[in-house]
Amino acid sequence: MLFFIEVTLSGMMAGVMYSLVALGFVLIFKASGIFNFAQGVMALFAALTLVGLMEKFNFPIWLAIIGTIVVMIALAWLIERIMLRHLVNQEPIILFMATLGLAYVLEGMGDILWGSDVKVLDLGIPQGASDWMLDSFDIYIEKLEIFAAVTAAIMVAFLAVFFQKTRIGRALRAVADDHQAALSVGISLHTIWVIVWSVAGIVALVAGIMWGSKSGVQFSLSLIALKALPVLILGGFTSVPGAIIGGLIIGVGEKIAEVYLGPFVGGAIENWFAYMLALAFLLFRPQGLFGEKIIERV
Amino acid sequence: MIYRETGQFKANYQDDQALFPIAQDRYVILVILLITFGLVPALLNEYWLNAILLPFLIYSLAALGLNILTGYCGQLSLGTGAFMAVGAFSVYKLMVAFPGIGFIPMVVLSGVITAAVGTIFGLPSLRIKGFYLAVATLAAQFFLIWLFNKVGWFFNYSATGMINAPPMTIFGAIVTGPKADPIAKYYLVAAFVAVFALAAKNIARGRIGRNWMAIRDMDIAAELIGVRPLIAKLSAFAVSSFYVGMAGALYFAVWLGSAEPTEAFDINQSFLVLFMIIIGGLGSVLGSFLGAAFLVIMPIMLKNLMVDGFGTTSALAEHIQIIVVGVLIIGFLIVEPHGLARLWRIAKEKMRLWPFPY
């Protein structure tokens, strides 16, 4: 039983890490209807920039983080200016392919600017097992994962306040609801897109920091986007809480399946189990758990 | 002036239903076929045949397959790499187990096997749509690749998990394995592509193709006018997987010679083929060829240009190549989101009216 709890808990923690990436997808999809495949590469790019600023220019941590945020905002502005502005009103699949192209560009740029070797990201985030949990409950949990969970909670709370209480947040929700109606009441789509991509960039930075601290900053970081996709379809493309809860379900399901089912089929089922789980959910709720109900008219 | 249908009267049903109703189109196709089968093998050297034309033709076949599913039927799929793997492993098992049935039936048979697998993975498309479906097809991608890695039966329990193509002959010429004759390989692949490209063109304009397009344009409306979504969607998945499976079989057996599932058929293959049809043009047979040509030849050109022309190191050249490919893709989507085939269509319209502007 204790082992089961430990597996479940570690699954939840891993799920939170997936949610961090999925969150960025949701933000952009909500505001512009773009399925942004570059989110994973954005996380890699942010982490690379952070490490690069710290190593090559000897920035202190806080300055490096601010610097990276500035870079991500500049990137968002560039993406809007060069790419999105010209692709207004295109088919979703075209926009999706454009973000794939963007992923290639960012990947190549990150490698050229900061080098393609594996880097260690050390921001002083506590590492190793949590002694308190180990002593009092005999459960092994990484400190880093607890830290990530707390960060995710803070970030979601912050995003909720930002979306519900601020003027910009209201404009964002208006755009998400209906592009044309938002335009007609005087909301600038271009500004909103820059803001959304900036926020997604910052979320990517947080995800990049967490994953980078866990397993080093390297190319494989961009592949976490693939891990976030089942989370996304499970929770629904348009729901922030969906991203979190989807992440938890996927994380737990994956870990339990790997531990209890894996040995019978030869292991390493983590790669596809999440997708199959999401697929099974989708057959009952085609719009995901929390997605808006799909209403179709002729 | 040269390209117009003026004076070409359709006097009977046969003319009316011709695959290429305009005479000039027929001549162009004939000339292309003549060049493909007559001039190219005579003029080009082994490097061109092996490193450029072979992958171009094989990817064209895969792009044709995906175009049937995504371009004609509107079902976005990210599992092309895995379906190619199904074709490759089927042809491998057939080559090892039944070497007597001949290579061409084997390739077709592996296409049929892939079609069956593709139909199974197409079942969710009846319930889920759009990007949800795209992500669902990723399940096929990861699950199938995992299966080919884990289950020893597929690679005959070889220690490395690789599959190697044993030599096969057609009319006395070796077409697979290390001793294969490049010209024979080229003829084989070109013949496959020519036959099935014409078949695709024919399917797309017939009843099935029209059903697919109705589903693509609006599935509910199509259902209301009597198109059965079950049959239309699953047949699109089956035909598409049939093409992709044959492409995968040729890709492994004729071009690569040996393959390992995680490397040769990973998700980047799926994206590559998807790029081909987007850049070439969704819902166009010509577009599949143009897209494949663009994405096979351009990276090679870029690499040669940078490594030989500017003397950059190959690692840096690779990074620059990735960036350039990304930029070109974005640029293409901005300039002409309907693909290269659309440019050709516009050019044809202009030629019809020339010398008048409209």
Name B164's bridge partners: B258
**A125 with A147: CB under 8 angstroms?**
yes
Query: What is the span of the domain harbouring residue A239?
Result: 2-284
- Residue from the list B131, B146, B282 with its beta carbon closest to the beta carbon of A35: B131
Res A72: pLDDT: 93
Q: Residues of A numbered 231-250 whose beta carbons fall under 8 angstroms of chain B's beta carbons: which are they? A: 232-233, 237
Q: What is the pLDDT of residues A263-273, one digit of tens each?
A: 777 667 777 88
Nearest CA of chain A to the CA of B240: how many Å?
19
For residue A27, pLDDT over 70 is answered with yes
β-pairing, B173-174 with B258-259? unpaired
User: If you ran DSSP here, which 8-state letter would residue B52 be given?
Assistant: I
User: ω before B167 within 30° of 0 (cis)?
Assistant: no
Q: Is there a contact between B319 and A278 if contact means CB atoms under 8 Å apart?
A: no
* B334–A282 C-beta distance less than 8 A: no
The C-alpha of B222 sits at a distance from chain A's nearest C-alpha, in angstroms, of 10
Cβ contacts of A100 on chain B, cutoff 8 Å: 271, 275, 329
Write the pLDDT tens digit of every residue in B259-276. 888 888 888 899 899 989
Lowest mean pLDDT among B20-24, B314-318, B346-350: B314-318
Considering only CA atoms, which of B266, B213, B202, B218 is closest in space to residue B236?
A: B213
pLDDT at position B61 is 96
Q: What is the pLDDT of residue A135?
A: 64
Residue A76: inside a domain, yes or no?
yes
Average pLDDT of the residues in B137-166? 86
Q: What pLDDT, on the 0 to 100 scale, is given for residue A127?
A: 66
Q: CB-based contacts of B181: which residues, under 8 Å, 6+ apart?
A: B173, B174, B175
Tell whether A206 lies on the interface with B, counting CB pairs under 8 A.
no
Residue A208 in contact with residue A1, Cβ under 8 Å? no
- CA–CA separation, A121 vs A137, rounded Å? 30
Closest Cβ–Cβ partner in A101, A269, A288 for B330: A101
- Which amino acid would we find at residue B149? N
Is A157 a domain residue? Answer: yes
Measure the CA–CA gap between A162 and A11, rounded to whole angstroms.
Answer: 29
Residue B274: CB partners within 8 Å, gap ≥ 6? A97, B66, B70, B78, B80
Structure tokens belonging to residue A138: 């005999």
* Distance spanning both ends of chain A, measured CA to CA: 53
The nearest alpha carbon in chain A to B339 belongs to A94
CA distance B342 to chain A (A): 15
Partners of A86 on chain B (C-beta within 8 Å) are 334
- Looking at residues B323-345, what average pLDDT do you find? 87
Query: Which A positions 111-150 lie with beta carbon below 8 A of chain B?
Result: 111-112, 116
The highest-confidence range among A189-193, A203-207, B81-85, by mean pLDDT, is B81-85
Cα–Cα distance measured from residue A146 to residue A11, given in angstroms and rounded to the nearest whole number: 12
Tell me how many domains chain A contains.
1
B30, B294, B52, B57: which is closest to B187 by C-alpha?
Answer: B57
Which of the two residues, B269 and A292, has the higher pLDDT score? B269
> What pLDDT score was predicted for residue B110?
95
Residue at A149 is within a domain: yes
Q: How far is CA B182 from CA A166, B35, B49, B99, B177, in A?
A: 67, 17, 7, 21, 11
Q: Determine, yes or no, domain membership for A274.
A: yes
Using one digit for the tens of pLDDT, what is the confidence trace for A91-128?
788 888 889 889 989 988 888 887 767 777 776 666 66
pLDDT of residue B244: 96
**Does the pLDDT value for residue A33 go beyond 80?**
no
The verdict on a CB contact (< 8 Å) between A104 and B136 is no
Band the pLDDT of B248: cuts 50, 70, 90.
very high
- Mark yes or no for CB contact B131/A266 under 8 Å: no
Please tell me the predicted confidence (pLDDT) of residue B234.
Answer: 95
Which residue from A248, A285, A228, A290 is spatially nearest to A25, judged by alpha carbons? A228
- pLDDT tens string A162-173: 888 888 888 888
Q: Which of A181-185, A201-205, B274-278, B300-304 has the lowest mean pLDDT?
A: B300-304
Chain A CB contacts of B274 below 8 Å: 97
Nearest to A272 by CA among A243, A241, A229, A235: A229
**CB neighbour class for B218 (10 Å; exposed up to 12, middle 13-18, buried from 19):** middle
Q: Select the residue from B294, B319, B332 to test the A interface by mutation, using most A Cβ atoms within 10 A.
A: B319
| Interface confidence (ipTM) of the complex | 0.83
Query: Predicted confidence band at A64 (pLDDT cuts at 50, 70, 90)?
Result: confident
Report the residue from B224, B271, B330 with minimal CB separation from A98.
B330
Q: What is the mean pLDDT of residues B1-8?
A: 75
Q: How far is the C-alpha of B237 from the C-alpha of B245, rounded, in Å?
A: 12
Name the residue type at position B70.
T
Q: Do A92 and B131 touch (CB under 8 A)?
A: yes
Contact across the interface for B330 and A105, Cβ inside 8 Å: yes
Residue among B315, B323, B325 whose CB faces A109 most closely = B323
Nearest CA in chain B to A264: B150
* Mean pLDDT value of segment A183-211: 89
- Assign 3-class secondary structure to A217-240: ECHHHHHHHHHHHHHHHHHCCCCH
How wide is the angle at C-alpha B262 spanned by C-alphas A11 and B117, nearest 5°? 90
Mark which residues 37-96 of A lie under 8 Å from B by CB. 82-83, 86-87, 90-94, 96
Query: Which residues of chain B does A268 touch, with a Cβ-Cβ cutoff of 8 Å?
Result: 146, 149-150
Query: Could you tell me if A46 and A208 are in contact, meaning their C-beta atoms sit under 8 angstroms apart?
Result: yes
Nearest 5°: phi and psi at A237?
A: -65, -20
Closest chain A C-alpha to B126 CA, distance in angstroms: 9
pLDDT > 90? residue B249: yes
Distance from CA of A159 to the nearest CA of B (A): 25
Considering chain A, what is the average pLDDT of its residues? 82
pLDDT value of position B189: 93
The CATH code of the domain that includes A71 is: 1.10.3470
Highest mean pLDDT among A184-193, A232-241, A282-291, B80-89: B80-89
Name the least confident of A58-62, A95-99, B247-251: A58-62
pLDDT tier for residue B193 given thresholds of 50, 70 and 90: very high
Percent of chain B with pLDDT over 70: 99
Q: Does B72 score more than 90 pLDDT?
A: yes
| Euclidean distance between the first and the last CA atom of chain B, given in angstroms as a whole number | 13
Q: Cα(B129)–Cα(B122) distance, rounded to whole angstroms?
A: 11
Read off the pLDDT of each residue in A43-47 and give the average, rounded to a whole number: 89
Contact B275 A102 (CB under 8 A): no
Residue range B35-70, pLDDT digits in tens = 888 888 888 888 888 888 999 999 999 999 999 999
Backbone angles phi, psi at A290, to 5 degrees: -120, 10
Residues of B engaging A, defined by a Cβ cutoff of 8 Å: 70, 76, 124, 127-132, 135-136, 138-139, 142-143, 146, 149-151, 218, 220-221, 224, 267, 271, 274-275, 278, 282, 315-316, 319-323, 325-330, 333-334, 337
Indicate yes or no: CB of A276 within 8 angstroms of CB of B139.
yes
If you write DSSP's letter for every residue of B209-225 in order, what string do you get? Answer: HHHHHHHHH-HHHHHHT
Check whether B235 has a pLDDT greater than 80. yes
Tell me whether residue A296 is in a domain: no
Query: Would you say residue A136 has pLDDT above 70?
Result: no
Does residue B258 sit in helix, strand or coil?
A: strand
Interchain CB contact of A276 with B (< 8 Å): yes
Q: Which residues of A touch B320 (CB under 8 A)?
A: 108, 112
User: How open is the CA angle B202-B208-B209, to the nearest 5 degrees?
Assistant: 60
Residues 6+ apart with CB under 8 A from A177: none
Q: What b/e sequence results for A11-48 when a residue is b if at least 16 CB atoms lie within 10 Å of its CB, and e otherwise?
A: bbbbbbbbbbbbbbbbbbbbbbebbbbbbbbbbbbbbb
Give me the numbers of helices (H) and strands (E) for chain B, helices first please.
17, 4
Q: What is the pLDDT confidence band of residue B292, given thresholds at 50, 70 and 90?
A: very high
